[in-house]
Amino acid sequence: MKFVIYNSLSLHPAFETVDMEILREAFKFNATHGITGFLYRCHQHYYQYFEGTADIVDDLLPRIAKDKRHTDFQVLQVDDISSRRFTGWSMGYSRAASELQSALLSPSSSAEDVRERLTLEAQKQRATHIPPQKKM
């Protein structure tokens, strides 16, 4: 198992239909490829944590980096993990609160700080997450 955390700048206004398109694509791909994770939108910034088998993660990362809906793609952390943090989530989504946005965008925030803050925020969202789609 492997995880990735990245951030990027969106090329479209916040919380419009493009975010929903991204989520629909992620739900479909992730559910069939065993990827779980969480996407945050902070003003113009995306932060995403995703996890899965190393081969799928390694194939997915360059696809996300090339997506024309964002720019300034930057990997913050890639590492091996022994168990999933987002079991059962094909992709969670949240607009981060202003205090979280400040912390995520702070130059002093390390990749570990970002990962922990994203994990804590995702735990708050668990009660309202969109469940993974079932295969038909």
- Could you list the mean pLDDT of each consecutive 10-residue stretch along the chain, which spans 136 residues? 93 79 86 88 85 96 96 94 80 56 58 68 54 44
User: 0.95 exceeded by the pTM?
Assistant: no
Residue 127's pLDDT is 42
Distances in Å between the Cα of 130 and the Cα atoms of 3, 68, 79, 87, 95 are 21, 25, 26, 13, 14
| Percentage helix, strand, coil for the chain under 3-state DSSP, each rounded to 5 | 40, 30, 30
23: its two tokens? 């989520």
77: amino acid identity, one letter: Q
Residue 119's pLDDT is 67
The beta-strand segments (E) located in the chain are 2-10, 36-42, 45-52, 70-80, 92-95
Alpha-carbon gap, residue 71 to 124, rounded angstroms: 28
Question: Quick count: other Cβ atoms within 10 Å of Cβ 83?
Answer: 7
Alpha-carbon gap, residue 64 to 8, rounded angstroms: 10
Which domains are assigned to the chain? 2-128 (3.30.70.100)
